[in-house]
Homo-oligomer: A and B are copies of this chain.
């Protein structure tokens, strides 16, 4: 699948107690740039009552931060955030971490996930005279935190969180502390690490721990609040998984997370390889070579090749310099721009029966283009094998799939999709097959984008797309 087809929510990172916390956070965000390319941001503080510095803008990590901004952010406590990519927006307003002032002081908050009752809560608060800066669901958390009845509690956070429904991995700066939270279902990953200096680190994925030489300690668990301050780390649980079943996002394993990361207790590459093996067992194909579509499906292709015994080959090259800012002034030449990222090695596929392994198919348009390129290069047969089931439903927990109607599998049968993609055969991995590869299986994972069975019920009128696009009419 192409990275442009699905936009992921976010990546989180935080450091407590290191003189270079801002630079480390820049690195940790950079290692998680694949989780969000729209904006990057950081909030840092010296702790105690010291004010919180914030810098957050539209752009990639190394565009948003430079030597000057990092110097201004130099503080021993830092949290950061990367956010997914949208086009046509010139606003920095929605970039996270959000930073607000309230009666308790300042609160900075970085959020990965999606709150499905945010719209309703927001409407309630607005009816009581509250104002909102962003169109983001995250902001409601700060209003809950500032609520006098919550502030009056000795330990307000569990009360605040009890109002939230949906997916939320959070990192906060509050009263000089760094706080990491994972929702009761544990939709999104979040883990703890430690530097050899003793400083604590929190990250969405372990690949961000690797880049700063932090040792992995453990995952933040579903329903857990981890508080880190000068006296060390403290844990408390505010909720049980609903029905005793976690709802970790299987799509993180299928597509999003970095292959080098361990999430939800397993290495991503290993899981993908197992999905590829399972796919080979479920959907064998007669072919001469197995290739993958760059870059995400390489792991599954290795598994398919190993299980099937069919030779693994390299069918495409990628241009490492392809970025967002390529200039294509003339409209009629834009088509060429798609080739900028991907080129077929014609000599590999010419005259071959090619088994192509994909991790997933969303809209299908990009996949269709790639299949056409293989055919143009002389492949005699194309057998597409997808290492996950058809995506037929939207996600309300933090993955920004396009509108349901644009999903190629929304109303099409597999045969119809095969015809649309113009391939000789097409098979998807079964739901059971996919879930057999992840630890805990159906009891620990959300697969709603494949099944439509939403572990946290969706409110009838909710639409995150409306929320993003029609700000004024948001709650009408």
Of A49, A71, A210, the most chain B CB neighbours within 10 A belong to A210
- A343-B207 contact in complex given A269-B314, A314-B299, C-beta closer than 8 Å: yes
> Is A269 touching B65 in the complex (CB atoms < 8 A)?
no
- A311-B321 contact in complex given A100-B131, A129-B143, C-beta closer than 8 Å: no
> Is B26 touching A327 in the complex (CB atoms < 8 A)?
yes
Query: In the bound complex, what is the Cα–Cα distance between A57 and B312 (angstroms)?
Result: 42
> Is B55 touching A91 in the complex (CB atoms < 8 A)?
yes
Q: What residues of B have a CB within 8 angstroms of the CB of A145 in the complex?
A: 131
Q: Which residues of A196-225 have CB atoms within 8 Å of chain B's CB atoms?
A: 207, 210-213
Bitwise, A311-333 to B at CB < 8 A (1) or not (0) is: 11110110111110111111001
> Is A295 touching B323 in the complex (CB atoms < 8 A)?
no
Of A27, A65, A90, A336, the most chain B CB neighbours within 10 A belong to A90
- A100-B66 contact in complex given A302-B313, A319-B31, A470-B51, C-beta closer than 8 Å: no
Cβ of A344 under 8 Å from chain B: yes
Chain A interface, DSSP helix/strand/loop, else mixed:
mixed
Q: How large is the interface on A (under 10, 10 to 19, 20 to 34, 35 or more residues)?
A: 35 or more
> Is A131 touching B126 in the complex (CB atoms < 8 A)?
no
Cβ of A154 under 8 Å from chain B: no
Q: What residues of B have a CB within 8 angstroms of the CB of A347 in the complex?
A: 262, 267, 269-270
Q: Which residues of A62-89 have CB atoms within 8 Å of chain B's CB atoms?
A: 62, 65-73, 88
Cβ of A132 under 8 Å from chain B: yes
Q: What residues of B have a CB within 8 angstroms of the CB of A51 in the complex?
A: 470-472
> Nearest chain-B residue to A299 (Cβ)?
B314
Query: In the bound complex, what is the Cα–Cα distance between A236 and B344 (angstroms)?
Result: 33
Q: Which residues of A296-313 have CB atoms within 8 Å of chain B's CB atoms?
A: 298-299, 302, 305-306, 311-313
Cβ of A458 under 8 Å from chain B: no
> Is B317 touching A62 in the complex (CB atoms < 8 A)?
no
> Is B128 touching A143 in the complex (CB atoms < 8 A)?
no
Q: What residues of B have a CB within 8 angstroms of the CB of A316 in the complex?
A: 260
Cβ of A111 under 8 Å from chain B: no
How close is A4's CB to chain B, nearest CB, in angstroms?
Answer: 13
> Is B31 touching A340 in the complex (CB atoms < 8 A)?
yes
- A329-B30 contact in complex given A52-B471, A302-B312, C-beta closer than 8 Å: no
Count of this chain's copies in the oligomeric assembly: 4
Cβ of A474 under 8 Å from chain B: yes
Q: What residues of B have a CB within 8 angstroms of the CB of A151 in the complex?
A: 129
| Contact partner, A323, options B62, B91, B328, Cβ 8 Å | B62
Query: In the bound complex, what is the Cα–Cα distance between A53 and B469 (angstroms)?
Result: 12
Q: Interface stretch among A102-110, A161-169, A378-386, A412-420? A: A102-110
How close is A30's CB to chain B, nearest CB, in angstroms?
Answer: 6
Q: Which residues of A451-476 have CB atoms within 8 Å of chain B's CB atoms?
A: 470-474
Q: What residues of B have a CB within 8 angstroms of the CB of A336 in the complex?
A: 27, 211-213
Query: In the bound complex, what is the Cα–Cα distance between A88 and B60 (angstroms)?
Result: 23
> Is A210 touching B311 in the complex (CB atoms < 8 A)?
no
Cβ of A444 under 8 Å from chain B: no
Cβ of A188 under 8 Å from chain B: no
> Nearest chain-B residue to A19 (Cβ)?
B330
> Nearest chain-B residue to A45 (Cβ)?
B472
Query: In the bound complex, what is the Cα–Cα distance between A123 and B309 (angstroms)?
Result: 63
> Is A319 touching B62 in the complex (CB atoms < 8 A)?
no
- A333-B23 contact in complex given A62-B325, A313-B302, A314-B269, C-beta closer than 8 Å: yes
Cβ of A362 under 8 Å from chain B: no
Cβ of A92 under 8 Å from chain B: yes
Q: What residues of B have a CB within 8 angstroms of the CB of A330 in the complex?
A: 20, 23
Interface residues of A (CB under 8 A from B): 20, 23-24, 26-27, 30-31, 33-34, 49-55, 57, 60-62, 65-73, 88, 90-93, 99-103, 105-107, 123, 126-133, 135, 142-143, 145-148, 151, 207, 210-213, 258-260, 262, 267, 269-270, 295, 298-299, 302, 305-306, 311-314, 316-317, 319-323, 325-330, 333, 336-337, 339-340, 343-348, 470-474
- Some 25 contacts from A to B, beta carbons below 8 A apart, are A20-B330, A20-B333, A23-B329, A27-B340, A30-B340, A33-B319, A33-B320, A49-B472, A54-B93, A55-B91, A62-B321, A70-B329, A100-B132, A127-B148, A129-B143, A129-B151, A131-B142, A133-B133, A211-B339, A211-B340, A212-B336, A259-B314, A259-B317, A269-B317, A270-B348
The 4 closest A-B pairs by CB, nearest first: A267-B347, A103-B126, A100-B131, A51-B471
